[in-house]
A and B are shown apart, each in its own frame.
Chain A
């Protein structure tokens, strides 16, 4: 018998599917492609066959399992609560286990490598960064992926001149000099680190002004999203261990990236291999807070206490729900409450606010054409609001929204919600 450890872990989730087809309506990928292998029902079915030994992990199967944003819109609307994210990630993990990482990356990279121009740019970018992290394999492996996503014929945000990791101090005491109310670890994540360092500084500033001590452990690593979502659980666990260790002495871990907060919380869901890991990852989950939930749910700042920065006065704003906030962490009302309460800002809800922007991490690297089509629908929603600015809380989404707003020659600017408030 073949070793199907990873698939066995998700068997019960795949078995829940009753083939009703409801997911097709919610799946942004299916909405573009309209074929059964794009949607949760088809993926579940094929994974079930794999479990029964009736489907090999062919390159085609890899493509099918790869073509998922992990946006979880299907799962959120599935009457049987089938958890396609776990099925897809589990299947990818099994493939990595069976065939090695090279296999997945090989066919996945196919499309990128075929594009010489994009590939060249990627290499150049990757090379430019390589020297920074000579030791941590995780970073090297993951960063090229991420940069490639940026480089693939896109409007690339300028990389920060100085990365956040080179600017931050290990400890920030509360500004008022009083005894800290709590000790919070700041998790940078790569986008905040390399592209939006000012966001990180902003968050630190925001917290320390309100009596919180912020620590920025030096040996924190990448959250692991791009890594363990592509099935590399081994590296994923390594990162989990490092991050857990780095943040062992704090009350909470706060991030400015919706994907990071979600990924850190979800170590317990995807990665554990034994009970000990399960327990420790669950304990870690309890500490993690996205900035949007932290300010409202933990700091309990009433929404009306937030002050709008001058430059945004009189503007109309709309909110884009990052999948990793709304569906992975159930964070929906907190940012809206703030935006609606901000004096001087007008809030308009966009149609399909919860629909994925099309980024899906490395999905957009391999399927940029699809990303553009999905994003175009998002852009239509944004246009329909007449808003001047689009607010969100995940740098990944920001990058994609900016790219597509530019591509569509739109005037809307994209901001992280932290950038709006004093």
Chain B
């Protein structure tokens, strides 16, 4: 428990209404998007600016109190769960879009800006911020940067780290510092900026970010390719890319997911298909036309039984709605869902899918697969129930198998959700020991008292 006196010090800094200590509020800040991780903080603080954060950190550091940064709390790795108690430092009230610089295609934002708010603002200027985690309605830029989030658009546009030019950060001891800048190129010294991108709140608090933007492509087209065999869909992904077309998005839905979506909101997806791939091409109209033709040709050649090009925005939106509903379709169907976010080299997708299906059979668990196939980032999800011990244990084994499989094939533990608490047990198995050692040393250097989001990643 926190000392009373500390609470009143925090209150002095941020104002009474910005410190929460009621049991109800603490419970409401004990969770994130995962099902399995819950722990209450001792208090929740909502700073309004960098200076306040600096003052809070000074106190926390002196008193050695754990501080867990939190944005929208949408992460699915346990990252923002204050597993050691202490303070949850929530940035949701720091939500100003400070500046949009059209000339330099940059935006300056506070950490609590919600991605969709930024997207809407940028739309008016004809610009967009390419990283598009599918949690865009709740995720904040602080969280997105700290998790190095990505989404469907990563095939073509890459992940968050490619769009962060500069960061303002408050270090655990309260010092305010800046990394990077506002230029596209920057080769001055070590790239400390990128240690903070994907630091999962363990190094410091991101208080401002300089983002790189793109102009909105003038044309878009959506293509749905239908497969009788999911491995064929997997193959189509790299066939399309190796044939020189880089679509904006390539998403995969398997038979199970298709049917759940059709149950929830019938929209005419092919229920018999073993899998579908959704492609979106974007760019200048002529190029989009050509790319679309090419995708139709290649997917047909490599086993698609049906290929549909959305005739208008409405039809395209329908398909993308289906993709977005995918998550809900899965989560709504079982009390406990283990949704993986492993990523394999693209060429391995068919082999990896086969491995997943074998594991499901071996352990007798229900599993479905959806994901951002375009970058090899798949979400095999196991429908389980933590209250059913036998099923739960089999599910855990299947999940271990999935992760081991991915790593064996040259993939990684997490493509986008981060390690947090969820993937800790695999961390040391999957990461080179020297790299782990360096990470631990960096952590000790920046955060000697281990107050920043303690208990996460390798702990």
Contact = CB atoms under 8 A, between A and B. Distances in A.
B33 A45 contact: no
B332 A18 contact: yes
Interface string B328-357: 100110000100000000000000000000
Given A21-B73, A25-B114, A35-B20, A79 B138 contact: no
Contact of A19 (B23, B24, B31, B93): B31
A45 B31 contact: yes
A42 B28 contact: yes
B331 A58 contact: no
A79 B46 contact: no
Contact of B24 (A64, A78, A80): A64
A58 B27 CA distance: 14
A20 B327 contact: yes
B137 A24 contact: yes
A78 B328 CA distance: 9
B98 to A, nearest CB: 17
B181 to A, nearest CB: 30
Contact of A25 (B27, B32, B137, B325): B137
B46 A36 contact: no
Interface in A52-98: 55, 58, 60-61, 64, 77-81
A171 interface: no
B138 A34 contact: no
Main secondary structure of the interface of B (DSSP, over half): loop
Nearest to A24: B138
B331 A21 contact: no
Contacts of B27: 45-46, 49, 55
B436 interface: no
A83 to B, nearest CB: 13
Interface in B400-451: none
Nearest to B327: A79
B374 interface: no
Nearest to B326: A79
B247 interface: no
A115 interface: no
Interface in B91-121: 92-93, 95, 112, 114, 116
A58 B23 CA distance: 10
Given A21-B74, A79-B324, A79-B327, A36 B138 contact: no
Interface residues of A, number: 28
Nearest to A42: B28
A18 B328 CA distance: 8
Most buried by B among A18, A36, A37, A79: A36
A35 B24 contact: no
Interface string A8-29: 0000000010111111111000
A19 B33 contact: yes
A36 B28 contact: yes
A159 B28 CA distance: 43
Contacts of A58: 23-24
Given A35-B46, A46-B27, A58-B24, A20 B33 contact: yes
B29 interface: yes
A331 to B, nearest CB: 20
A80 B328 contact: yes
B31 to A, nearest CB: 6
Nearest to B32: A19
B25 A35 contact: yes
Nearest to B20: A35
B8 interface: no
Contact of A21 (B29, B90, B135, B264): B135
Interface residues of B, number: 36
Interface in B191-207: none
B317 interface: no
B137 A34 contact: no
Contacts of A18: 33, 327-328, 331-332, 337
Interface in B254-278: 264
A313 B385 CA distance: 63
Contacts of A23: 138
A61 B24 contact: yes
A189 to B, nearest CB: 34
Nearest to B18: A35
Most buried by A among B34, B74, B325: B74
B78 interface: no
Nearest to B29: A36
Contacts of B116: 25
B29 to A, nearest CB: 6
B72 A21 contact: yes
A60 B34 CA distance: 26
B95 A20 contact: no
A64 B29 CA distance: 14
B177 interface: no
Contacts of B46: 34-35
A34 B112 contact: yes
B45 to A, nearest CB: 11
A22 B24 contact: no
A26 B28 CA distance: 18
B266 to A, nearest CB: 14
B16 interface: no
Contacts of B72: 21, 24
Interface string A28-48: 000000111100001001100
A37 B28 contact: yes
Contacts of B74: 20-21
Interface in B147-205: none
Contact of B25 (A24, A34, A37, A49): A37
Contacts of A46: 24, 27-28
Nearest to A16: B332
A274 B139 CA distance: 42
15 contacts: A21-B138, A22-B137, A24-B137, A24-B138, A35-B28, A35-B90, A37-B28, A46-B27, A60-B22, A61-B24, A64-B24, A77-B137, A79-B324, A79-B328, A80-B331
Give 10 closest A-B pairs by Cβ, nearest first: A21-B138, A79-B328, A18-B331, A25-B137, A34-B92, A42-B28, A36-B28, A21-B74, A22-B137, A80-B332
Given A21-B137, A22-B137, A24-B72, 5 more contacts: A49-B27, A55-B24, A77-B137, A79-B325, A80-B328
Interface of A: 16, 18-26, 34-37, 42, 45-46, 49, 55, 58, 60-61, 64, 77-81
